[in-house]
Amino acid sequence: MSQTLKSINPWNKQLVFEINESSEKEVEQSLMALDKSFQQWKSTPVITRCAYIMAVAAKLKRGRDDYARMMSREMGKPLAQAKAEIDKCAWLCEHHAKHAPIFLADEVIQSNAKRSFVRHQGSGVILALMPWNYPFWQVFRAAVPAILSGNAMVLKHASNVSGSSKALEELFNIESFPILFKSVFLRGEKAALVLKNPLVKGLTLTGSEKAGSEMAALAGSLIKPALLELGGSNAMIITADANIEQAVEQAVKGRFQNNGQSCIAVKRLIVDERHYEEVKERLEAKLKSMFTGDPLEDPDLGPMAREDLAIELEEQCICSLEQGAKAMFPIKREVSLFFPNVLMDCSPGMKAWDEELFGPVLALCSFNSFDEAIALSNHNRFGLGVSIMCNNPEMYLSRCAEFEEGAVFFNSFVKSDPNLPFGGVNASGFGRELAKDGFMSFVNRQTIVIE
């Protein structure tokens, strides 16, 4: 029997959106429609595909405020941050439309043949399994390069942002262009049925380590390519010569934006012991000044996306305290609202260190040599990114290879940028999104040889 998927506002518990779960017949019809469009789209000139994405960007800008309010109401994102997310999606569209003709051009390669080159072709319908924390950005990051590369996309979004999923389907529906994007509304355990459909040719997943490992295993058994962007526990290292005011500002912004619910957030702060007390004092002042409240009133922090997630974070914090960490403030949670905090004197072996804290809590520790800082940073199964706050980045460039990370940022928290490849190693996943790499994720690099 079909179930109803509901989006509940985590701030006031009011119903935001509800929709009936898609039936197997509806899923099949969506995939057939997308495959039919793909058969036409794969030979459509790249310049026409770019025109489509630019039309999506224009529609996105027109609906910016409505889309932002939907995100804020569904998962608690402060409204200004939701609007910034929409702006970033539009930027991604414009950037990729500008570069697609270059990235997807035939690649001439010298060989023993008279002429040889590589041509980039779309693969088919790509399944996107996306999380709730960035309801639009995560989808755009996957969909735009895939569609520009000649593919179509079916989205299975997180159930608690079904309203955003429906809005995204309508947003990508552009008059005079084929249907290239559809949403299906399913509980998480039914995503495997979509991937098993022979019309689906690949998987892109942003989400938990557990979901990623299970779906990647299934994709492998089906001989379908997969791209995984999973969890992270990024460290930020504050060196002896760092600008402490700037470092703390970056740490706070990098940890607490999006209510602390970001895979690339600063989750572990590793501070030169000479600055440890000063950093603690500055963090305490920053957190005391934070305004928490209704996301539509644009606070510094809104509620976490669901109450069960806030309860899980609370349990991780309590366990870490039992393991020897010290809380800067008493652990405080009111339903889905989790008040910002710092767990001090953390170390490997504690939950706050070994697990991903997906909420507004920062783990803090000190070091007395850069070798120790590297070891502490690497003492974690994730590998999405690391930040180094210092006066002279050139001094540390030669040490970058010692970090087991997908990215190393100097004097900033880790960010995603359409110009740069994005992705991680180890338990943070594999493959790269954005930049040229993102265009290559689901294309057939067809070799053509003329003797």
41, 152 contact by CB (below 8 A): yes
CA dist 266 and 237 (Å) reads 10
Share of the chain above pLDDT 70, in %: 100
**Mean pLDDT confidence for 283-302:** 96
Which is nearest to 443 in space by CA: 216, 172, 225? 225
- Cα(296)–Cα(335) distance, integer angstroms: 18
CA distance 226 to 126: 10
Structural domains of the chain sorted by starting position, each given as residue range(s) with its CATH number in brackets: 4-231+426-450 (3.40.605.10), 234-381+385-410 (3.40.309.10)
Which residues are catalytically annotated? 229, 263
Three-point CA angle 401, 402, 407, nearest 5°: 60
Indicate the DSSP class of residue 233: -
Residues 302-325 pLDDT 10s: 999 999 999 999 999 999 999 999
Q: What is the pLDDT of residues 317-362, one digit of tens each?
A: 999 999 999 999 999 999 999 999 999 999 999 999 999 999 999 9
Q: What pLDDT is attached to residue 434? A: 97
Q: Measure the CA–CA gap between 121 and 42, rounded to whole angstroms.
A: 7
Query: Is pLDDT above 70 for 1?
Result: no
Tens of pLDDT, residues 73-114: 999 999 999 999 999 999 999 999 999 999 999 999 999 999
| Amino acid, single-letter form, for residue 399 | R
pLDDT digits over 177-233, tens only?
999 999 999 998 899 999 999 999 999 999 999 999 999 999 999 999 999 999 999
pLDDT computed for residue 351 by the predictor: 97
pLDDT at 30 (0 to 100) = 98
- Calculate what percentage of the chain has a pLDDT beyond 90: 99
Strand, helix or coil at 178?
Answer: coil
Residues 6 or more apart whose Cβ sits within 8 Å of residue 220: 226
Cα distance between residue 75 and residue 69, in whole Å? 10
Question: What per-residue confidence (pLDDT) applies to 130?
Answer: 98
pLDDT tens per residue across span 258-272 = 999 999 999 999 999
Place 2 in a pLDDT band, splitting at 50, 70 and 90. low
The whole-chain average pLDDT of the chain stands at 97
Distances (CA, A) of 218 to 30, 32, 214, 215: 21, 21, 6, 5
pLDDT value, residue 116:
98
